[in-house]
Amino acid sequence: MREAFYGARRFEEFQQRLGVSRNVLTQRLERLVEENMLKRLPYQERPVRHEYRLTEKGRDFFTVLAAMIRWGDRWLAESDGPPVELRDSETGLSVELEVIDVRTGRPVDVRRIVPVPGPGFPKDLTERHPYPGAFEGSSQHR
């Protein structure tokens, strides 16, 4: 997914960037298409060749990758800085990644989070999970 976000579309681009075997890459791309993260579109007729484009579901996954990038930049980057900078294409400014609660505008902090069963939580699992306050580091565990 990372390489798709960074602009790879064609099989050869993914293979060159990732350095994985053709059969492994084929399996991974097929799975991402099955999961509706990527869509496969023909770009050449003879021979038929395809490219892979992000779907809406795939584009929405960027928030997951962004959170991982932020964590890696904070905890794993060498002293000379992060390996990749993300820039806003309109302003040219470096993007400062943060997971924000859209209701409050505040950064998400596990020490303030309390999980509770949602409407889709299976009723038969309620007794096996110690809700509320199951996240280590939440306000229930200070």
**Average pLDDT, consecutive stretches of 10 residues, N- to C-terminus, the chain (142 residues):** 96 96 97 98 93 98 92 93 93 92 94 85 75 52 43
pLDDT of residue 39: 98
pLDDT at 130: 63
Residues 51, 84, single domain; the answer is no
Question: Residue 68's domain spans which residues?
Answer: 62-108
Quick one: residue 81, left, alpha or beta (phi over 0 = left, psi -120 to 50 = alpha)? Answer: left
Domain of 37, CATH number, reads 1.10.10.10
pLDDT at res. 128: 74
The span from the CA of 117 to the CA of 101, in Å, is: 19
Domains: count for the chain? 3
Pick left, alpha or beta for residue 105 (phi over 0 → left; psi -120 to 50 → alpha; otherwise beta).
left
